[in-house]
Amino acid sequence: MNEEEKLVAKLKDLYETRQIFDPELTELAKHLHMEFKNPYATYIEYVICVNDPDFDGPDSDWVKYSYLKEAADGGHPEGLFGLGCTYFYGQLGYAIDWELAFMYLSQASTAGFTNDDGELKLLQDAMQDGVVVLNDYLKLMHMDIPDEVRLQQLKIWLDEGKITKKAFKRNKKIFNDFKKTYGGSYM
């Protein structure tokens, strides 16, 4: 095991056993990032920034984004997922970009990330179902509106040929299953 691998193993242990602002953890993350440009350490620096209440607002978003992007570019699964979600939800000062979200979320999945909240599946299903109005479809799925209203819009798009019958049926089933299981609306 080389020096970098030993330090990363120590950082992982510290991250799992200590508080995020533990001085030893923050210094080691900073050292690994500066010395080796290690993607795991860079991701930890992103997590530290996100959890720092003094490091909030649009002026600090570019720093958070740069750590996240560097971790993702290094192939770190959580970094890839975080960057995908940044584009999926339009965070850190970046607009929603479904194509970039799909790219990074897919890479995160390939890299072994398994804890997503369904973002990648939603994009994959929409693309497989031949949804022509992808941006509008994904916005509709994220709106805080009753499922009946969502279904009405999906029916309009089905009638206009902008979504397939498969997409309509799949979403109707999701809404009905969710209502049966949880007693409320999907979103």
Confidence of residue 181 (pLDDT cuts 50, 70, 90): confident
Mean pLDDT of 20-37: 95
Task: Tell me: pLDDT of 23 over 60.
Answer: yes
- pLDDT score recorded for residue 73: 97
Give the pLDDT score at 42.
97
Residue 161: per-residue pLDDT: 87
Closest CA to 176 of 151, 153, 159, 157: 151
Written in H, E and C, the secondary structure of the chain is: CCHHHHHHHHHHHHHHHCCCCCHHHHHHHHHHHHHHCCHHHHHHHHHHHHHCCCCCCHHHHHHHHHHHHHHHHCCCHHHHHHHHHHHHHCCCCCCCCHHHHHHHHHHHHHCCCCCCCCHHHHHHHHHHCCCCCHHHHHHHHHCCCCHHHHHHHHHHHHHHCCCCHHHHHHHHHHHHHHHHHHCCCCC
CATH of domain 1-117: 1.25.40.10
pLDDT of residue 172: 85
* pLDDT per residue as tens digits for the range 92-138: 999 988 888 889 988 998 999 888 777 777 777 777 776 777 778 87
Residue 46 in this model has a pLDDT that exceeds 70: yes
Task: Give the mean pLDDT of the chain.
Answer: 88
In the chain, domain spans: 1-117, 129-187
pLDDT at residue 186 greater than cutoff 70: no
Q: What percent of the chain has pLDDT over 90?
A: 50
Q: Is the pLDDT of residue 142 over 60?
A: yes
Task: Round to whole Å and give the CA distance between 36 and 146.
Answer: 50
What is the tens place of the pLDDT at every residue in 72-92? 999 999 999 999 999 988 899
Q: What is the pLDDT of residue 143?
A: 83
